[in-house]
Amino acid sequence: MAFRRRTVEREVPRRPGVALLEAHVKDLCEEYSITIASASSRGRAIRYVGGALEIAIPEIRGQVTYLIALHEIGHLVGAGRSAPRLEAEANAWVWALDNTEVEPTDASLKSIGRRLDGYLEWALARQYRKHPPRIPPPDHVFWRLRALSGTSRDASWAAP
C-alpha cells in the first residue's frame, strides 16, 4: 500500500518591513510611470519606443531584492543611463542607494560589489573584440562601489 503525502498550502511568513519596501517601489513606479511587468530573477529595465517604461524585478523578499528593484528603476530614470554599460550599471546602483528608504546593510553593499565584479568579468572577457566594452576610467564611481564587495578578484583591476 502506497502512502501519499498530504501537502498543506501555507502562506510563507513575510519578514517585517517587506511590505514597506514593496510599497516604496510601487510608489516610485507610479511617480515615474513605470510598469512592473513580471517577475525576473535577475531584473531588467526596458524603455520602449514611444516612451513606455517597464521593469521586471524579483519578488521583494528583503533588502537585496529591494535594491535590485531600485537599481532597475535607476536604469530608466537615473543620471548617466546612456553611459557605456559598466558605467551605466554603476550609475543605476548609485541612484538606488541615493533613493533607498533603508540604510543598506554590509551584506547588501557586498552584493552590489559582487554584481559589479560580474559586470567587469563580462567586459574583460570581451576585450579581444573589435569594439570591446569600455572599462570605466579610474575616477568613476564604478571602482568605489566595486570595492564594497571586499573580494576584488584581480588586483590589476582593483579600485585605484
Which letter, b or e, does each residue of 48-68 get, where b requires 16 or more Cβ atoms within 10 Å of its Cβ?
eeeeebbbbbbebeebbbbbb
Going by their DSSP bridges, the two strands 53-57 and 34-39 should be labelled as parallel
**Mean pLDDT score, 147-156:** 59
Q: How far is CA 59 from CA 25, 39, 41, 67, 113, in A?
A: 11, 6, 8, 11, 21
User: Between 85-99 and 106-124, two packed helices, what is the crossing angle to 10 degrees?
Assistant: 170
CA distance between the termini of the chain: 68
Range 132-151 average pLDDT? 90
pLDDT at 14: 65
Query: pLDDT band for position 9 (50/70/90)?
Result: low
Provide the H-helix boundaries in the chain: 18-31, 63-77, 85-99, 106-124, 141-146
Q: pLDDT tens, 57-116? A: 989 999 999 999 999 999 999 998 889 999 999 999 999 999 999 999 999 999 999 999
Give the least confident one: 6-10, 44-48, 69-73, 129-133.
Answer: 6-10
Q: Indicate if the pLDDT at residue 39 is higher than 70.
A: yes
Q: What is the pLDDT of residues 108-140, one digit of tens each?
A: 999 999 999 999 999 999 999 999 999 999 999
Lowest mean pLDDT among 36-45, 46-55, 81-90: 36-45
Lowest pLDDT segment from 12-26, 27-41, 49-63, 94-108? 12-26
Whether the pTM exceeds 0.85: the reply is no
Q: Please state, for a pLDDT cut of 90, what percent of the chain lies above it.
A: 67
Query: Do 113 and 145 touch, CB atoms closer than 8 A?
Result: yes
Distance CA 52, CA 18 (A): 27
